C-alpha cells in the first residue's frame, strides 16, 4: 500500500492535439493508497495508479474510459482516430517536494500526441 503520495491534487495539462474535440481532462483528484478514480468535465472516467520508483520519479498509469462521456466527447486512439473505448497512458513523472507540498510533472507521448501534465498537491 503506497500512501506517501496520498492527498488532493490539481491537474493541469497542455496537449499538442489540434483536432476538433475539446479536451476537458484538467481538474482535481485525490490519491488514496497510490490510486485515483475521477470523472472529468466531459464525463470521461479516469483510473490511475502512482508508484514511486526513485526519490524523484513516479510511474503513472492512467486508463481513460469515455464510454459514458458526453455525446460530443471522444478520446484518441494511438493512430489518432476517435474512440469511446478505454485508452491507457503510461509515463514517468518527475517528483518534487517542498515541505508538505508535492508536484509531479512530465510528458505523455501517445500516438502522435504529446501531453504535458502537472499535478500539484492542494
Instruction: Assess whether pLDDT exceeds 60 at residue 1.
Output: no
Per-residue pLDDT at 2: 67
Cα–Cα dist 74/117, whole Å:
19
- Tell me, what's the pLDDT at 97? 94
Q: Residue 45 corresponds to which cell in the numbers above?
A: 472516467
Spans of all domains in the chain: 7-121
* pLDDT given at position 12: 93
pTM of the model: 0.90
Domain 7-121 sits in CATH at 2.40.128
Residue whose entry in the numeric block shows the C-alpha cell 462521456: 69
Q: Band the pLDDT of 3: cuts 50, 70, 90.
A: confident
The whole-number pLDDT of residue 23 equals: 74
Q: pLDDT by residue (tens digit) across 26-77? A: 899 999 999 999 999 999 999 999 999 999 999 999 999 999 999 888 888 8
Looking from the CA of 72 toward its CB, the CA atoms found within 13 Å total 7
Non-local CB neighbours of 86 within 8 Å, separated by 6+ positions = 63, 64, 65, 67
Amino acid at each position: 500500500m503506497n500512501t506517501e503520495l496520498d492527498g488532493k491534487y490539481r491537474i493541469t495539462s497542455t496537449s499538442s492535439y489540434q483536432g476538433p474535440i475539446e479536451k476537458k481532462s484538467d481538474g482535481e483528484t485525490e490519491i488514496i493508497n497510490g490510486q485515483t478514480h475521477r470523472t472529468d468535465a466531459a464525463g470521461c472516467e479516469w483510473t490511475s495508479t502512482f508508484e514511486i520508483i526513485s526519490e524523484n520519479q513516479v510511474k503513472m498509469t492512467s486508463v481513460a474510459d469515455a464510454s459514458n462521456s458526453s455525446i460530443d466527447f471522444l478520446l484518441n486512439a494511438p493512430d489518432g482516430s476517435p474512440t469511446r473505448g478505454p485508452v491507457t497512458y503510461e509515463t514517468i513523472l518527475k517528483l518534487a517536494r517542498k515541505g508538505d507540498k508535492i508536484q509531479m510533472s512530465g510528458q505523455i507521448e501517445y500516438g502522435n500526441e504529446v501531453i504535458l501534465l502537472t499535478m500539484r498537491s492542494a
